[in-house]
Amino acid sequence: MENNFNHSQFAHCESGVISTLISSYGLKLSEPMAFGITSTLSFVFIPLVKINGMPLIAYRDLPKNIVKKISKVLNIKMNKKVYSNKEEANDELTSLVNDGNLVGLQTSVFYLPYFPKDMRFHFNAHNLLVYGKENNDYLISDPVFEEEVKCNENELNKARFAKGAFAPKGFIYYPDEIPKDIDFSSIIKKAIKKNAKSMLTPFPFAGVKGMNKLAKKISTLKRNNNDRFLKNYLTHIVRMQEEIGTGGGGFRFLYAAFLSESKQYNLDEKILDEASALLIKSGNTLREFALLCVTASKNLDKFDAKVIAQKLEEASSYEKEAFTLLKKI
Amino acid sequence: MKEIEVPKEENKTLDGMQKVMYTKDSQGDFITENYGSNIEEFATKTAVDEYELLKEEALLDIKNGVSSPICFFMYENRMDLPTLASMVGMFAFRVKRHLQMKHFKKLNEKLLQKYADTFNISIDELRNFKHGK
Protein backbone atom coordinates (compact mmCIF):
# COMPACT_ATOMS: atom_id res chain seq x y z
CA MET A 1 0.00 0.00 0.00
CA GLU A 2 1.12 3.55 -0.79
CA ASN A 3 1.57 5.84 2.15
CA ASN A 4 1.64 9.55 2.62
CA PHE A 5 3.66 9.86 5.80
CA ASN A 6 3.90 13.05 7.83
CA HIS A 7 5.40 13.21 11.30
CA SER A 8 3.28 14.90 13.98
CA GLN A 9 3.62 15.24 17.72
CA PHE A 10 1.02 13.81 20.07
CA ALA A 11 0.16 13.69 23.75
CA HIS A 12 0.29 9.90 24.05
CA CYS A 13 2.51 7.40 22.27
CA GLU A 14 0.16 4.55 21.34
CA SER A 15 -2.79 6.64 20.14
CA GLY A 16 -0.31 8.95 18.38
CA VAL A 17 1.35 6.11 16.48
CA ILE A 18 -2.01 4.69 15.40
CA SER A 19 -3.22 8.12 14.32
CA THR A 20 -0.15 8.71 12.13
CA LEU A 21 -0.11 5.15 10.82
CA ILE A 22 -3.77 4.97 9.78
CA SER A 23 -3.85 8.55 8.48
CA SER A 24 -0.74 7.97 6.37
CA TYR A 25 -2.50 5.13 4.59
CA GLY A 26 -5.43 7.33 3.64
CA LEU A 27 -7.99 7.12 6.46
CA LYS A 28 -7.81 10.35 8.42
CA LEU A 29 -7.92 9.51 12.12
CA SER A 30 -7.09 11.97 14.88
CA GLU A 31 -5.36 11.00 18.11
CA PRO A 32 -8.50 11.54 20.26
CA MET A 33 -10.45 9.34 17.82
CA ALA A 34 -7.85 6.55 17.99
CA PHE A 35 -8.01 6.76 21.78
CA GLY A 36 -11.80 7.00 22.01
CA ILE A 37 -12.99 4.37 19.55
CA THR A 38 -10.79 1.79 21.25
CA SER A 39 -12.44 2.63 24.61
CA THR A 40 -9.05 3.23 26.18
CA LEU A 41 -9.91 5.59 29.04
CA SER A 42 -9.68 3.70 32.29
CA PHE A 43 -8.55 3.67 35.85
CA VAL A 44 -6.88 0.74 37.57
CA PHE A 45 -5.41 0.43 41.03
CA ILE A 46 -4.09 -3.02 41.93
CA PRO A 47 -2.15 -2.95 45.20
CA LEU A 48 -0.99 -6.56 44.81
CA VAL A 49 0.84 -5.99 41.54
CA LYS A 50 3.99 -4.06 42.30
CA ILE A 51 6.26 -2.07 40.01
CA ASN A 52 9.47 -0.98 41.71
CA GLY A 53 7.77 -1.75 45.00
CA MET A 54 4.85 0.53 44.16
CA PRO A 55 1.28 -0.56 43.40
CA LEU A 56 0.07 -0.72 39.81
CA ILE A 57 -1.85 2.45 39.02
CA ALA A 58 -2.99 3.21 35.49
CA TYR A 59 -5.21 5.89 34.02
CA ARG A 60 -5.87 4.05 30.77
CA ASP A 61 -6.31 0.52 29.49
CA LEU A 62 -3.39 -1.92 29.23
CA PRO A 63 -0.58 -1.20 26.78
CA LYS A 64 -1.25 -2.65 23.31
CA ASN A 65 -5.01 -2.17 23.81
CA ILE A 66 -5.24 0.44 21.04
CA VAL A 67 -3.17 -1.57 18.56
CA LYS A 68 -5.21 -4.67 19.25
CA LYS A 69 -8.64 -3.08 19.15
CA ILE A 70 -8.22 -0.64 16.28
CA SER A 71 -8.15 -3.36 13.65
CA LYS A 72 -11.24 -4.96 15.10
CA VAL A 73 -13.19 -1.74 15.47
CA LEU A 74 -12.37 -0.34 12.02
CA ASN A 75 -12.12 -3.73 10.32
CA ILE A 76 -8.53 -3.06 9.27
CA LYS A 77 -6.30 -5.93 8.30
CA MET A 78 -3.27 -5.41 10.49
CA ASN A 79 -0.08 -7.46 10.25
CA LYS A 80 1.23 -8.18 13.72
CA LYS A 81 4.27 -10.17 14.62
CA VAL A 82 6.51 -11.00 17.58
CA TYR A 83 9.95 -12.55 17.29
CA SER A 84 12.20 -14.79 19.28
CA ASN A 85 15.28 -13.95 17.25
CA LYS A 86 16.85 -10.49 17.22
CA GLU A 87 18.63 -10.83 13.87
CA GLU A 88 15.52 -12.06 12.11
CA ALA A 89 13.48 -9.20 13.61
CA ASN A 90 16.06 -6.66 12.49
CA ASP A 91 16.34 -8.06 8.95
CA GLU A 92 12.60 -8.12 8.48
CA LEU A 93 12.20 -4.57 9.75
CA THR A 94 14.92 -3.41 7.36
CA SER A 95 13.30 -5.04 4.37
CA LEU A 96 9.84 -3.76 5.35
CA VAL A 97 10.93 -0.14 5.57
CA ASN A 98 13.09 -0.45 2.45
CA ASP A 99 9.95 -1.57 0.64
CA GLY A 100 8.31 1.68 1.73
CA ASN A 101 6.21 0.41 4.63
CA LEU A 102 5.52 2.40 7.76
CA VAL A 103 5.99 0.07 10.70
CA GLY A 104 4.78 0.47 14.29
CA LEU A 105 7.05 -0.89 17.01
CA GLN A 106 6.82 -1.59 20.71
CA THR A 107 9.99 -0.63 22.60
CA SER A 108 11.48 0.06 26.01
CA VAL A 109 12.18 3.70 26.76
CA PHE A 110 15.27 2.77 28.78
CA TYR A 111 17.29 1.80 25.69
CA LEU A 112 16.28 4.65 23.39
CA PRO A 113 19.30 6.97 23.25
CA TYR A 114 17.38 9.99 21.99
CA PHE A 115 15.27 10.19 25.16
CA PRO A 116 16.40 12.57 27.92
CA LYS A 117 18.38 10.70 30.57
CA ASP A 118 15.93 11.40 33.39
CA MET A 119 13.09 9.95 31.36
CA ARG A 120 14.76 6.62 30.66
CA PHE A 121 13.08 4.05 32.88
CA HIS A 122 12.22 0.42 32.22
CA PHE A 123 8.89 1.17 30.63
CA ASN A 124 8.41 -1.52 28.01
CA ALA A 125 5.36 -0.29 26.16
CA HIS A 126 6.55 2.75 24.29
CA ASN A 127 5.28 2.88 20.71
CA LEU A 128 7.00 4.50 17.76
CA LEU A 129 7.01 4.37 13.96
CA VAL A 130 9.92 3.45 11.71
CA TYR A 131 9.72 4.97 8.24
CA GLY A 132 13.16 4.35 6.74
CA LYS A 133 16.79 3.38 7.18
CA GLU A 134 20.04 5.19 6.43
CA ASN A 135 23.12 2.98 6.74
CA ASN A 136 22.80 1.57 10.25
CA ASP A 137 20.36 4.13 11.54
CA TYR A 138 16.61 3.73 11.54
CA LEU A 139 14.56 6.83 10.77
CA ILE A 140 11.95 7.12 13.46
CA SER A 141 8.78 9.09 14.00
CA ASP A 142 8.39 9.11 17.78
CA PRO A 143 4.97 10.59 18.58
CA VAL A 144 6.05 12.38 21.75
CA PHE A 145 8.88 14.24 19.99
CA GLU A 146 8.55 17.42 17.95
CA GLU A 147 10.79 16.23 15.11
CA GLU A 148 11.76 12.93 13.55
CA VAL A 149 14.68 11.16 15.25
CA LYS A 150 17.30 8.57 14.35
CA CYS A 151 18.38 5.49 16.24
CA ASN A 152 21.21 3.07 15.62
CA GLU A 153 19.97 -0.44 14.81
CA ASN A 154 21.85 -2.09 17.70
CA GLU A 155 20.26 0.22 20.21
CA LEU A 156 16.82 -0.12 18.68
CA ASN A 157 17.21 -3.90 18.82
CA LYS A 158 17.96 -3.68 22.54
CA ALA A 159 14.86 -1.56 23.04
CA ARG A 160 12.76 -4.05 21.06
CA PHE A 161 13.96 -7.03 23.05
CA ALA A 162 13.94 -5.59 26.57
CA LYS A 163 12.71 -8.03 29.22
CA GLY A 164 10.41 -7.54 32.18
CA ALA A 165 6.75 -6.57 32.50
CA PHE A 166 5.10 -6.05 29.08
CA ALA A 167 8.25 -7.29 27.31
CA PRO A 168 7.85 -6.21 23.65
CA LYS A 169 9.44 -9.33 22.08
CA GLY A 170 10.20 -7.33 18.96
CA PHE A 171 6.50 -6.64 18.36
CA ILE A 172 5.75 -4.92 15.03
CA TYR A 173 2.51 -3.93 13.31
CA TYR A 174 1.51 -2.39 10.00
CA PRO A 175 -1.79 -2.24 8.12
CA ASP A 176 -2.48 -4.39 5.11
CA GLU A 177 -5.86 -3.18 4.03
CA ILE A 178 -7.97 -0.27 5.18
CA PRO A 179 -11.66 -0.23 4.27
CA LYS A 180 -13.09 2.90 2.65
CA ASP A 181 -16.62 3.20 3.94
CA ILE A 182 -16.66 3.31 7.67
CA ASP A 183 -19.76 4.00 9.71
CA PHE A 184 -18.15 6.12 12.41
CA SER A 185 -21.43 7.00 13.99
CA SER A 186 -22.23 3.45 15.11
CA ILE A 187 -18.58 2.66 15.95
CA ILE A 188 -18.33 5.68 18.25
CA LYS A 189 -21.63 4.92 19.91
CA LYS A 190 -20.56 1.37 20.67
CA ALA A 191 -17.12 2.46 21.89
CA ILE A 192 -18.57 5.06 24.25
CA LYS A 193 -21.03 2.59 25.72
CA LYS A 194 -18.27 0.08 26.20
CA ASN A 195 -16.06 2.62 27.93
CA ALA A 196 -18.96 3.67 30.16
CA LYS A 197 -19.45 0.06 31.15
CA SER A 198 -15.80 -0.40 32.05
CA MET A 199 -15.63 2.86 34.02
CA LEU A 200 -18.78 1.97 35.97
CA THR A 201 -17.79 -1.64 36.59
CA PRO A 202 -18.66 -3.14 39.97
CA PHE A 203 -15.13 -4.57 40.19
CA PRO A 204 -13.65 -2.58 43.10
CA PHE A 205 -10.16 -2.01 41.69
CA ALA A 206 -11.14 -0.46 38.35
CA GLY A 207 -12.98 2.52 36.96
CA VAL A 208 -14.74 4.96 39.28
CA LYS A 209 -14.68 2.38 42.09
CA GLY A 210 -10.93 1.99 41.63
CA MET A 211 -10.44 5.73 42.05
CA ASN A 212 -12.36 5.58 45.32
CA LYS A 213 -10.33 2.57 46.40
CA LEU A 214 -7.10 4.51 45.89
CA ALA A 215 -8.61 7.51 47.71
CA LYS A 216 -9.42 5.26 50.64
CA LYS A 217 -5.90 3.87 50.64
CA ILE A 218 -4.46 7.39 50.63
CA SER A 219 -6.67 8.45 53.53
CA THR A 220 -5.16 5.69 55.67
CA LEU A 221 -1.56 6.78 55.02
CA LYS A 222 0.14 8.01 58.17
CA ARG A 223 3.43 9.68 58.80
CA ASN A 224 5.36 7.30 60.94
CA ASN A 225 9.11 7.29 60.28
CA ASN A 226 8.27 6.50 56.69
CA ASP A 227 8.97 9.83 54.99
CA ARG A 228 10.89 8.24 52.16
CA PHE A 229 8.10 5.78 51.41
CA LEU A 230 5.39 8.44 51.56
CA LYS A 231 7.30 10.72 49.24
CA ASN A 232 7.86 7.89 46.76
CA TYR A 233 4.26 6.70 47.01
CA LEU A 234 2.70 10.09 46.39
CA THR A 235 5.01 11.00 43.53
CA HIS A 236 4.49 7.54 42.02
CA ILE A 237 0.77 8.31 41.69
CA VAL A 238 1.64 11.62 40.05
CA ARG A 239 4.08 10.02 37.63
CA MET A 240 1.50 7.51 36.46
CA GLN A 241 -1.04 10.28 36.02
CA GLU A 242 0.92 13.15 34.52
CA GLU A 243 4.18 11.93 33.18
CA ILE A 244 3.70 8.64 31.40
CA GLY A 245 2.70 10.27 28.13
CA THR A 246 -0.75 11.25 29.28
CA GLY A 247 -0.91 14.79 27.99
CA GLY A 248 -2.00 16.02 31.40
CA GLY A 249 -4.94 15.18 33.65
CA GLY A 250 -4.48 11.43 33.33
CA PHE A 251 -5.83 11.20 29.73
CA ARG A 252 -9.07 12.95 30.73
CA PHE A 253 -8.50 15.92 28.40
CA LEU A 254 -7.76 13.54 25.56
CA TYR A 255 -11.07 11.74 26.08
CA ALA A 256 -12.91 15.06 26.38
CA ALA A 257 -11.44 15.99 22.98
CA PHE A 258 -12.73 12.69 21.58
CA LEU A 259 -16.26 13.36 22.86
CA SER A 260 -16.20 16.81 21.36
CA GLU A 261 -15.01 15.50 17.98
CA SER A 262 -17.76 12.86 18.06
CA LYS A 263 -20.41 15.54 17.76
CA GLN A 264 -20.06 15.59 13.96
CA TYR A 265 -21.35 12.02 13.74
CA ASN A 266 -25.04 12.46 14.45
CA LEU A 267 -25.03 11.54 18.11
CA ASP A 268 -26.75 13.21 21.03
CA GLU A 269 -24.81 16.51 21.17
CA LYS A 270 -26.17 17.52 24.53
CA ILE A 271 -24.88 14.39 26.24
CA LEU A 272 -21.52 14.66 24.48
CA ASP A 273 -21.09 18.31 25.50
CA GLU A 274 -22.05 17.70 29.09
CA ALA A 275 -19.84 14.65 29.44
CA SER A 276 -16.93 16.40 27.76
CA ALA A 277 -17.24 19.30 30.23
CA LEU A 278 -17.38 16.86 33.15
CA LEU A 279 -14.23 15.09 31.98
CA ILE A 280 -12.44 18.42 31.69
CA LYS A 281 -13.53 19.09 35.27
CA SER A 282 -12.21 15.68 36.30
CA GLY A 283 -8.90 16.31 34.50
CA ASN A 284 -8.50 19.67 36.21
CA THR A 285 -9.37 18.13 39.58
CA LEU A 286 -6.83 15.36 39.00
CA ARG A 287 -4.21 18.01 38.37
CA GLU A 288 -5.09 19.73 41.63
CA PHE A 289 -4.80 16.30 43.22
CA ALA A 290 -1.32 15.90 41.67
CA LEU A 291 -0.33 19.31 42.98
CA LEU A 292 -1.49 18.34 46.48
CA CYS A 293 0.54 15.10 46.30
CA VAL A 294 3.67 16.96 45.22
CA THR A 295 3.25 19.76 47.77
CA ALA A 296 2.89 17.17 50.52
CA SER A 297 5.96 15.26 49.32
CA LYS A 298 8.02 18.44 49.36
CA ASN A 299 7.07 19.18 52.93
CA LEU A 300 5.60 16.27 54.83
CA ASP A 301 4.82 18.49 57.82
CA LYS A 302 1.92 19.70 55.74
CA PHE A 303 0.80 16.21 54.70
CA ASP A 304 -2.94 15.86 55.12
CA ALA A 305 -4.13 12.51 53.85
CA LYS A 306 -7.82 13.41 54.10
CA VAL A 307 -7.56 16.49 51.88
CA ILE A 308 -5.65 14.59 49.18
CA ALA A 309 -8.08 11.67 49.25
CA GLN A 310 -11.05 14.01 48.98
CA LYS A 311 -9.65 15.58 45.81
CA LEU A 312 -9.46 12.18 44.16
CA GLU A 313 -13.00 11.37 45.28
CA GLU A 314 -14.15 14.64 43.77
CA ALA A 315 -12.62 13.67 40.42
CA SER A 316 -14.24 10.25 40.59
CA SER A 317 -17.65 11.81 41.19
CA TYR A 318 -17.38 13.84 37.97
CA GLU A 319 -16.47 10.70 36.08
CA LYS A 320 -19.34 8.77 37.56
CA GLU A 321 -21.68 11.51 36.40
CA ALA A 322 -20.09 11.71 32.95
CA PHE A 323 -20.22 7.99 32.23
CA THR A 324 -23.71 7.56 33.64
CA LEU A 325 -24.76 10.11 31.02
CA LEU A 326 -22.70 8.47 28.28
CA LYS A 327 -24.17 5.07 28.98
CA LYS A 328 -27.45 6.33 27.60
CA ILE A 329 -26.07 7.65 24.35
CA MET B 1 -9.58 31.50 33.54
CA LYS B 2 -9.27 29.10 30.63
CA GLU B 3 -11.17 25.83 30.75
CA ILE B 4 -7.93 23.86 30.53
CA GLU B 5 -4.89 25.78 31.75
CA VAL B 6 -1.63 24.96 30.03
CA PRO B 7 1.32 25.21 32.41
CA LYS B 8 4.39 26.85 30.90
CA GLU B 9 6.89 26.05 33.62
CA GLU B 10 10.43 24.83 33.24
CA ASN B 11 10.94 21.07 33.41
CA LYS B 12 14.66 20.29 33.52
CA THR B 13 14.15 16.53 33.41
CA LEU B 14 13.01 16.84 29.78
CA ASP B 15 16.39 18.26 28.78
CA GLY B 16 14.98 20.66 26.19
CA MET B 17 12.35 18.29 24.84
CA GLN B 18 8.82 19.69 24.58
CA LYS B 19 5.66 17.70 25.24
CA VAL B 20 2.14 18.53 24.14
CA MET B 21 -1.25 18.33 25.82
CA TYR B 22 -4.85 18.95 24.79
CA THR B 23 -6.54 22.25 25.50
CA LYS B 24 -9.13 24.50 23.83
CA ASP B 25 -8.54 27.46 21.54
CA SER B 26 -10.52 30.72 21.77
CA GLN B 27 -13.28 29.21 19.59
CA GLY B 28 -13.71 26.31 22.00
CA ASP B 29 -12.13 23.73 19.68
CA PHE B 30 -9.63 21.23 21.00
CA ILE B 31 -5.98 21.72 19.99
CA THR B 32 -2.62 20.46 21.19
CA GLU B 33 -0.20 22.87 22.81
CA ASN B 34 3.32 22.67 24.26
CA TYR B 35 3.46 22.59 28.03
CA GLY B 36 5.98 22.30 30.83
CA SER B 37 5.02 21.30 34.34
CA ASN B 38 7.10 21.50 37.49
CA ILE B 39 4.76 19.02 39.13
CA GLU B 40 5.95 16.49 36.58
CA GLU B 41 9.51 17.65 37.05
CA PHE B 42 9.37 17.01 40.77
CA ALA B 43 7.81 13.56 40.37
CA THR B 44 10.43 12.47 37.84
CA LYS B 45 13.23 13.93 39.91
CA THR B 46 12.04 12.02 42.98
CA ALA B 47 12.10 8.74 41.06
CA VAL B 48 15.58 9.45 39.68
CA ASP B 49 16.87 10.49 43.11
CA GLU B 50 15.46 7.35 44.71
CA TYR B 51 17.77 5.24 42.54
CA GLU B 52 20.72 7.44 43.55
CA LEU B 53 19.83 6.83 47.20
CA LEU B 54 19.53 3.08 46.64
CA LYS B 55 22.94 3.12 44.93
CA GLU B 56 24.56 4.91 47.85
CA GLU B 57 23.06 2.43 50.28
CA ALA B 58 24.27 -0.43 48.10
CA LEU B 59 27.80 1.00 48.09
CA LEU B 60 27.84 1.11 51.85
CA ASP B 61 26.62 -2.49 52.06
CA ILE B 62 29.23 -3.59 49.54
CA LYS B 63 31.93 -1.92 51.58
CA ASN B 64 30.71 -3.81 54.63
CA GLY B 65 30.81 -7.07 52.72
CA VAL B 66 27.03 -7.63 52.86
CA SER B 67 25.84 -6.77 49.35
CA SER B 68 27.39 -7.73 46.04
CA PRO B 69 28.28 -5.41 43.14
CA ILE B 70 25.26 -6.79 41.27
CA CYS B 71 23.13 -4.83 43.71
CA PHE B 72 24.88 -1.60 42.75
CA PHE B 73 24.58 -2.20 39.02
CA MET B 74 20.93 -3.18 39.34
CA TYR B 75 20.11 0.26 40.72
CA GLU B 76 22.61 1.95 38.39
CA ASN B 77 20.47 0.54 35.55
CA ARG B 78 17.23 1.62 37.27
CA MET B 79 16.00 -1.93 37.75
CA ASP B 80 14.23 -3.67 40.58
CA LEU B 81 14.55 -7.34 41.48
CA PRO B 82 11.77 -8.71 39.21
CA THR B 83 13.10 -6.72 36.24
CA LEU B 84 16.66 -7.95 36.73
CA ALA B 85 15.46 -11.53 37.23
CA SER B 86 13.54 -11.36 33.97
CA MET B 87 16.54 -9.89 32.14
CA VAL B 88 18.93 -12.65 33.21
CA GLY B 89 16.25 -15.31 32.91
CA MET B 90 16.44 -16.64 36.47
CA PHE B 91 14.00 -16.88 39.35
CA ALA B 92 13.90 -13.82 41.59
CA PHE B 93 14.86 -15.78 44.70
CA ARG B 94 18.05 -16.91 42.96
CA VAL B 95 18.95 -13.40 41.85
CA LYS B 96 18.22 -12.21 45.38
CA ARG B 97 20.91 -14.56 46.67
CA HIS B 98 23.37 -13.19 44.13
CA LEU B 99 22.82 -9.75 45.58
CA GLN B 100 24.60 -10.99 48.71
CA MET B 101 28.39 -10.93 48.79
CA LYS B 102 28.80 -14.44 50.24
CA HIS B 103 26.85 -16.01 47.35
CA PHE B 104 28.29 -13.65 44.76
CA LYS B 105 31.83 -14.86 45.53
CA LYS B 106 30.92 -18.38 44.48
CA LEU B 107 29.40 -17.40 41.12
CA ASN B 108 30.91 -19.07 38.09
CA GLU B 109 32.08 -17.39 34.91
CA LYS B 110 28.93 -18.21 32.96
CA LEU B 111 26.55 -16.60 35.44
CA LEU B 112 28.82 -13.58 35.88
CA GLN B 113 28.83 -13.15 32.12
CA LYS B 114 25.02 -13.09 32.11
CA TYR B 115 24.97 -10.27 34.61
CA ALA B 116 27.79 -8.42 32.88
CA ASP B 117 25.92 -8.59 29.55
CA THR B 118 22.74 -7.33 31.16
CA PHE B 119 24.57 -4.35 32.64
CA ASN B 120 26.64 -3.85 29.50
CA ILE B 121 29.95 -4.09 31.40
CA SER B 122 32.85 -6.57 31.55
CA ILE B 123 33.13 -9.45 34.02
CA ASP B 124 36.18 -7.74 35.40
CA GLU B 125 34.21 -4.63 36.34
CA LEU B 126 31.83 -6.86 38.23
CA ARG B 127 34.41 -9.06 39.93
CA ASN B 128 36.89 -6.34 40.86
CA PHE B 129 34.32 -3.78 41.71
CA LYS B 130 35.77 -0.47 42.78
CA HIS B 131 33.56 2.52 42.92
CA GLY B 132 34.68 6.04 42.25
CA LYS B 133 37.58 5.23 39.95
Do A242 and B40 count as a contact with CB atoms less than 8 A apart? Answer: yes
Domain range for B72 = 66-127
pLDDT given at position B133:
44
Please say if the pLDDT value at position B132 is more than 60: no
Residue B25, domain member (yes or no): no
Q: Any idea which of A34-43, A95-104, A144-153, A239-248 has the lowest mean pLDDT?
A: A239-248
Do A11 and B19 count as a contact with CB atoms less than 8 A apart? Answer: yes
Closest by Cα among B82, B79, B80, B90 to B114: B90
Read off the pLDDT of residues A251-284 as tens digits, 9 standing for 90 and up.
999 999 999 999 999 999 999 999 999 999 999 9
CA A207 to chain centre: 15
Do B44 and A243 count as a contact with CB atoms less than 8 A apart? Answer: yes
Residue B83, domain member (yes or no): yes
Overall number of domains in chain B:
1
Task: Kindly report the nearest CA distance between residue A84 and chain B, in angstroms.
Answer: 14
CATH code of the domain covering residue B111? 1.10.260.40
Q: Which residues of B touch A51 (CB under 8 A)?
A: 80
Q: What percent of chain A has pLDDT over 70?
A: 100
pLDDT given at position A246:
85
Read off the pLDDT of residues A169-192 as tens digits, 9 standing for 90 and up.
999 999 999 998 899 999 999 999
- State whether residue A81 sits within 8 Å of chain B by CB: no
CB contacts < 8 A, A to B, total 122
Residue B70, domain member (yes or no): yes
- State whether residue B32 sits within 8 Å of chain A by CB: yes
pTM: 0.95
Do A117 and B15 count as a contact with CB atoms less than 8 A apart? Answer: yes
Do A53 and B78 count as a contact with CB atoms less than 8 A apart? Answer: no
Please say if the pLDDT value at position A245 is more than 90: no
Q: Which of the residues B4, B22, B41, B79 would you substitute to probe the A interface, choosing the one with the greatest number of A C-beta atoms within 10 Å?
A: B22
- State whether residue A270 sits within 8 Å of chain B by CB: no
Do B5 and A144 count as a contact with CB atoms less than 8 A apart? Answer: no
Residue B47, domain member (yes or no): no
Please say if the pLDDT value at position B17 is more than 60: yes
Q: Identify whether the C-beta of residue A148 lies closer than 8 Å to the C-beta of residue A132.
A: no
**How much is the average pLDDT of B28-53?**
95
Task: Kindly report the nearest CA distance between residue B13 and chain A, in angstroms.
Answer: 5
Residue B38, domain member (yes or no): no
Q: Report the chain B residue with the minimal C-alpha distance to residue A230.
A: B46
Please say if the pLDDT value at position A58 is more than 60: yes
Residue B58, domain member (yes or no): no
- State whether residue B47 sits within 8 Å of chain A by CB: yes
Residue B98, domain member (yes or no): yes
Task: Kindly report the nearest CA distance between residue A197 and chain B, in angstroms.
Answer: 25
Which residues are CB-contacts of A46 (< 8 A; sequence separation ≥ 6)? A55, A56, A205
Mean pLDDT, chain A, as a whole number? 95
Report ipTM for this prediction. 0.94
C-alpha span between A123 and A106 (Å, rounded) = 11
Residue B51, domain member (yes or no): no
Domains and CATH numbers, chain A: 13-177 (3.90.70.10), 184-327 (no CATH)
Please say if the pLDDT value at position A322 is more than 80: yes
- State whether residue B60 sits within 8 Å of chain A by CB: no
C-alpha span between A248 and A234 (Å, rounded) = 17
Name the residue facing A254 among B22, B45, B53 (closest C-beta): B22
Do A236 and B35 count as a contact with CB atoms less than 8 A apart? Answer: no
Do B22 and A257 count as a contact with CB atoms less than 8 A apart? Answer: yes
Do B40 and A238 count as a contact with CB atoms less than 8 A apart? Answer: yes
Do B47 and A297 count as a contact with CB atoms less than 8 A apart? Answer: no
Please say if the pLDDT value at position A53 is more than 80: yes
- State whether residue A229 sits within 8 Å of chain B by CB: no
Read off the pLDDT of residues B61-90 as tens digits, 9 standing for 90 and up.
999 999 999 999 999 999 999 999 999 999
Do B13 and A118 count as a contact with CB atoms less than 8 A apart? Answer: yes
Confidence band for B126, pLDDT divided at 50, 70 and 90: very high
Confidence band for A113, pLDDT divided at 50, 70 and 90: very high
pLDDT given at position A244:
83
Name the residue facing B39 among A119, A164, A294 (closest C-beta): A294
Name the residue facing A242 among B43, B46, B77 (closest C-beta): B43
pLDDT given at position B131:
73
